[in-house]
A and B are shown apart, each in its own frame.
Chain A
Amino acid sequence: MIVADQLVKVFPGVRALDGASLRLEAGSVHALLGENGAGKSTLIKILTGVQRPDQGRLLIGGEAVTLRSPTEAAQAGIGAVHQERNLIPAFSVAENIALQRLPIRRGLVDRAHMRAEARRILGLLDVDLDPDVRVDRLSVAQRQLVEIAKALYGESRVLLLDEPTASVSPAEAELLFTVVRKLADSGAGVLFVSHKLEEVFAICDTVTVLRDGRTVLDAEPIADHARDDLIDLMVGRSREALSFPPRPPATQPAVLELDRISTAAGHREVSLSVRPGEIVGLYGLVGSGRSELAKALLGLEPIESGSVRVRGKNVVIKDVRQALAKHRIGYVTENRKEEGLFLDQPVSRNIAVTVWGRIAGALGHVSPAREGELVSMWVDRLGIKLASSRQLAGQLSGGNQQKVSLAKWLAAETEILIIDEPTVGIDVRTKGAFHELIWGLAADGMAILLITSDLAEMITLADRVLVMRDFRIRGELDNDHHYDRTSQAVIRLIHSKEI
C-alpha cells in the first residue's frame, strides 16, 4: 500500500539515503532495521512529509505522491509517532488526539463529539484511558498510546512507529504490542522501527534492513531469517576497519577511574578506567546513558554513590571549570551546535575560551598576541580550513566545526579527554582524518574515553570496548581491530536479553 522506491537524500557532507526502498503491505507489521546512521530516521522523515527526497519516488496505493508537509502526509493516510514527544501537556487526552481537526459546533469546540471520537479510537486500540485526563498526568507509555491514537485519528491506514518502546517498561511494551498487532489485523500497515531485536521478532511479519542509506534486505518475511543473519546484514561484512601504526600498550596506572558510580540520571554501578595513551570505547545505542555519564563525571548531574579517582586520588568534581583547571579533563560534546560551539562568535573565541583562564593577566587582560598565537597553532595542527580566525564558527562546514570544538580542549592542554560522537554528520574523508588525529593524541599519551555509536569508528580506534545499555555497563571486550569478530561480539552484547 505504500512504496518508497530508490530514495536518495543528500545533506551537506553526507548521503543519508542512497537508494533506499521500502514496501509496506496492508495488514502487516513491518520492521525497519539498521544501525545508527543507516538512514532510518531520514526515511521516516520523508514518509511523513517532514523532508523531501532528492531522487526516487513515493507511491501510495500505486500512485506517485509528493508529501510537502506533515499535514499532507496525514491527509494521505500516513500517521506517525515520532521519537520526540509531540503532545501538548496541558491538553486533555481527547483534545490531543483531535488537535489536527478539532470538531466544531456552533463556533465552539464540540467537546462531547471530541470525547466520543477519542473514546472510539481508544476503544479500537482496546486502551482504557479517560479521554478527559490531562496528558501531563500520564505515564510515558500511556502518552505513547495517546500518540498512536492521535496518529489514527486522521483515518490513517499507515502507522509509523519510531522507537516506540525506547522509554517504556516491559509490561507497558506488551500492551503496546497488543495494540499494534490488533491494528495490523484490522487491515492497517504498521512500520515498526526498533533497535530491540527481541521485539522485532515478537511482533513483526516482514523486515527491511538499511545499511549506509541503502536497502540491503527488501521486505522479506522475518521468519526466514535468523537473528544472527539480521545482525550480519545490519553491520555488513564488507567494511574493514582502518588501521594505524600500532601504539605501545598503555602500561601506566589509570588516570581516570570510576568505581561503582550511581547517578541521579539513572546509572547503576558503572565502573571503568582509562590509562594514559589508551583509547577506551564506550559503545551503546542512543539513549543508553553514555553522554549522561560524561556529564555526571563533570559535575553536571549529581553522582549518588561510588567514587571517581583522578590520578589515583578520590575527587569530587563540581563543574567543567574545575574539571579543566584542576584535573585537566576535557569533554568534547556530542551535540556541537547546541553544546559545543558558539555559532555566532569568531572561531578564535571558540577555540580560546578554555585558555583565557591560563593566559589572562592582571584584571583579566588577555593578550591578543598570545591568544592569536595559540589559536593559529591549533588551527594549523588540526588543519581547520578558515578564511580568517575572525570567521564565525557557524559559517564552517560540519567537519571544521567539529575540529574547532576539539581544538578548544587540546589548546587547554588537557590530559584526559572524553570525546562524544566525534564524527556524526561528517563526510568520510574528514572522518578518516579525525580518526588519525584521535589515534595520534593517544599515541602522545592522552587518556581518551571515546563515546560513539559508529561501530566502525569504535573498532578502528578503541583499545577496549565497554558496552552500555540502560545506564549500565553490560560487558567489556578487548578490541583486536578485527571488524567482523568485534562487531558481532558488540552487537550481541547490545541485543542480548536482560542479564
Chain B
Amino acid sequence: MSTRKPLFGLLGLIVVLVVVFGTLSPAFFDERLVLFPLLRDIAIYTVVGLAQMVVLSIGHMNLAVGRMAAFSAMFMGLSYDRLHLPLYAGLCIGLLAGAAIGAFTGWIIARTGVNSFVVTLAMDFALLGLIPVVYTALTANAAFTVKPDGMRELRQYSLGDVCLGNVCGSPAVPQMMLLAVAPMLALGYLYHGTRPGRELLLTGSNPLAAELSGIPTRRRVVTAHLLSGLLAGLAGFMLAVATGSFRATIGEEFLLPSFLGAILGGTAMAGGVVSVIGTFLGTSLTLVIRRGLELVGIGLEYLNVYLGVILLLALSADRFLQRRGVKS
C-alpha cells in the first residue's frame, strides 16, 4: 500500500518500550496495579483520538472534543440523578446529546462555510460556559454522584471475570476495553466497507472534486462532526465511570491527546487518510511512555517533553521519507 502508515514502526516502538520499562521496573507487568489502569486509560484515550480522527478525515478539526464529552456526560449524570435511569439507558441519552451537539456544530460549518477551527473554538467556549452553570444549578458540589447499578462493576471488572468454563480472560484487560473495541470495529468498517465512510475520505481528500463527483459534501461534514460528538460522549462516559462521577471537568484534558493519538497513528491533518489501528497504537504509545516513565521514576516532569519530541521526530522522519520517496 502506498499510503505509508507508520503502523509497524509504532508497534515496534511500543514493544521495545514495554520491554525496556519491564526490564527496568518489573512492576510494569503487575496486572492489577499497572496494566489494568494503563489499558483502561488506553481504552478511554483511543476513543478520544477516534473522536478527533473522524473530523480529521474530512480535513476539519474539533477543538471542542473535550467539552462535547463533558456536555454528553452531563446528560448522563442528569438521567441517572433525576430520572434514575439504568446505566446503559443513561449512556444512550448522553450519546444522543453528544451526537446532537456534534451535528449542530457540523451544520453550522456546512451552512456558513466558516472554518471548522473557529466554529469548534466558539463551541468550546459556549459549552465551557454552559456546563458549569447547569452543574451548579443542579448539584451540590459540581458533580452528579449518583452511581447507577453496574457502574462500579464496569470500572473494576476485567476479562478475568469473564469465564468460559474454566478458561478465564486476562485480569489485566479491563472490560471497558470493549467500549473502545466496538467503535474501532465500527469505524474500521465504516471507512473500509461503506459508502458514507469512503465519501468522508474523499470529501477530505478533495472537497471540490467530491462535490463534482456527486458526493453530498455538506451532509458528510455534518456526519463527521456528529460522529465526533458521539465518540466524545462515549469517551466522557468512560472517563466518568473510571473516575466514579459525572463532573463538569470531564474532558478538560482531552484536546491534546486527541490530536497526538490520531496524528501519531498516521491520520493526515489535511484529510482523506485515517487509521483506526494507528489511532489506537498512537494513543497506546503515549500512555505507555507516560506510565513507564512514572514507574522508572524519571518523573512526570519530563513526560511531556519526551512526548513532544517524539511527535516532532516521528513526523519529521515521516516527511523526510516521503520526500525521498517522491524523488526516487
In whole Å, how far is A345's beta carbon from the nearest beta carbon of chain B?
5
Contact flag A364-B195 (CB < 8 Å), given A339-B212, A344-B273, A390-B1 = yes
Of the candidate stretches A118-126, A241-249, A278-286, A315-323, the one touching chain B is A315-323
Q: Is B208 an interface residue (CB 8 A)?
A: yes
Q: Say whether B205 contacts A391, CB under 8 Å.
A: no
**Complex interface bits, A302-337 against B, C-beta within 8 A gives 1, otherwise 0:** 000000000000000001110111000001010000
Q: Is A59 an interface residue (CB 8 A)?
A: no
Q: Which of A324, A340, A349 contacts B202 (CB 8 A)?
A: A349
Contact flag A392-B2 (CB < 8 Å), given A342-B272, A345-B272, A353-B215 = yes
Q: Is B211 an interface residue (CB 8 A)?
A: yes
Q: Say whether A364 contacts B194, CB under 8 Å.
A: yes
Q: Is B196 an interface residue (CB 8 A)?
A: yes
Contacts of B1 in A (CB 8 A): 390
Q: Which of A342, A357, A390 contacts B214 (CB 8 A)?
A: A357
Q: Which of B196, B206, B213, B268 contacts A408 (CB 8 A)?
A: B213
Q: Is A1 an interface residue (CB 8 A)?
A: no
Q: Say whether B205 contacts A321, CB under 8 Å.
A: no
Contact flag A356-B195 (CB < 8 Å), given A392-B2, A395-B2 = yes
Contacts of A392 in B (CB 8 A): 2-3
Q: Say whether B273 contacts A354, CB under 8 Å.
A: no
Q: Say whether A365 contacts B202, CB under 8 Å.
A: no
**Complex interface bits, A351-366 against B, C-beta within 8 A gives 1, otherwise 0:** 0011011001001111
A461 to B50, CA, bound (A): 51
Q: Say whether A342 contacts B205, CB under 8 Å.
A: yes
Q: Which of B2, B198, B214, B272 contacts A323 (CB 8 A)?
A: B214
A391 to B211, CA, bound (A): 23
Q: Say whether A345 contacts B202, CB under 8 Å.
A: yes
Q: Is B113 an interface residue (CB 8 A)?
A: no
Q: Is B216 an interface residue (CB 8 A)?
A: yes
Contact flag A353-B213 (CB < 8 Å), given A342-B205, A366-B198 = yes
In whole Å, how far is B284's beta carbon from the nearest beta carbon of chain A?
26
In whole Å, how far is B205's beta carbon from the nearest beta carbon of chain A?
4
Q: Which of B195, B209, B214, B268 contacts A360 (CB 8 A)?
A: B195
Q: Say whether A368 contacts B193, CB under 8 Å.
A: yes
In whole Å, how far is A322's beta carbon from the nearest beta carbon of chain B?
8
Q: Is B103 an interface residue (CB 8 A)?
A: no
Contacts of A357 in B (CB 8 A): 195, 214
A357 to B197, CA, bound (A): 12
A353 to B211, CA, bound (A): 11
Contacts of A353 in B (CB 8 A): 198-199, 202, 210, 213-215
In whole Å, how far is A359's beta carbon from the nearest beta carbon of chain B?
9
A300 to B213, CA, bound (A): 12
Contacts of A366 in B (CB 8 A): 193-195, 198
Q: Say whether A342 contacts B202, CB under 8 Å.
A: yes
Q: Is B35 an interface residue (CB 8 A)?
A: no
Q: How many residues of B contact A (CB 8 A)?
A: 26
Q: Is A224 an interface residue (CB 8 A)?
A: no
Contacts of B273 in A (CB 8 A): 344
Contacts of B202 in A (CB 8 A): 342, 345, 349, 353
Max chain B CB contacts within 10 Å: which of A320, A325, A354? A320
Contacts of A343 in B (CB 8 A): 205-206
Q: Say whether A321 contacts B3, CB under 8 Å.
A: no
Contact flag A338-B209 (CB < 8 Å), given A319-B214, A344-B3, A392-B3 = yes
Max chain B CB contacts within 10 Å: which of A331, A363, A390? A363
Q: Say whether B212 contacts A333, CB under 8 Å.
A: yes
Contacts of A331 in B (CB 8 A): 212
A355 to B212, CA, bound (A): 14
Q: Say whether B214 contacts A320, CB under 8 Å.
A: yes
**Complex interface bits, B15-36 against A, C-beta within 8 A gives 1, otherwise 0:** 0000000000000000000000
In whole Å, how far is A270's beta carbon from the nearest beta carbon of chain B?
21
Q: Say whether B194 contacts A363, CB under 8 Å.
A: yes
Interface residues of B in 232-281 (CB under 8 A from A): 268, 272-273
Contacts of B215 in A (CB 8 A): 321, 353
In whole Å, how far is B213's beta carbon from the nearest beta carbon of chain A?
5
Q: Is A341 an interface residue (CB 8 A)?
A: yes
Closest to B205 in A: A342
Q: Say whether B201 contacts A345, CB under 8 Å.
A: yes
A345 to B197, CA, bound (A): 13
**Complex interface bits, A287-302 against B, C-beta within 8 A gives 1, otherwise 0:** 0000000000010100
Q: Which of B194, B205, B212 contacts A345 (CB 8 A)?
A: B205
Contacts of A390 in B (CB 8 A): 1-2
In whole Å, how far is B72's beta carbon from the nearest beta carbon of chain A?
24
**Complex interface bits, A145-172 against B, C-beta within 8 A gives 1, otherwise 0:** 0000000000000000000000000000
Interface residues of A in 449-467 (CB under 8 A from B): none
Q: Say whether A320 contacts B212, CB under 8 Å.
A: yes
Q: Say whether B206 contacts A356, CB under 8 Å.
A: no
A363 to B1, CA, bound (A): 27
Q: Say whether B213 contacts A320, CB under 8 Å.
A: yes
Contacts of A349 in B (CB 8 A): 198, 201-202
Closest to B208 in A: A339
Contacts of B2 in A (CB 8 A): 390-392, 395
A390 to B3, CA, bound (A): 10
A357 to B198, CA, bound (A): 11
Q: Say whether A341 contacts B3, CB under 8 Å.
A: no
Q: Say whether B196 contacts A364, CB under 8 Å.
A: yes
Residues of B within 8 A of A (CB): 1-3, 193-199, 201-202, 205-206, 208-216, 268, 272-273
Can you sample 5 A-B contacts with CB below 8 Å?
Answer: A344-B205, A353-B210, A356-B195, A368-B193, A391-B2
* Additional pairs, 16, CB under 8 Å, beyond known A353-B198, A353-B210, A356-B198: A300-B212, A321-B216, A333-B209, A338-B206, A338-B209, A339-B212, A343-B205, A344-B3, A344-B205, A345-B201, A345-B205, A349-B201, A353-B199, A353-B202, A368-B193, A392-B2
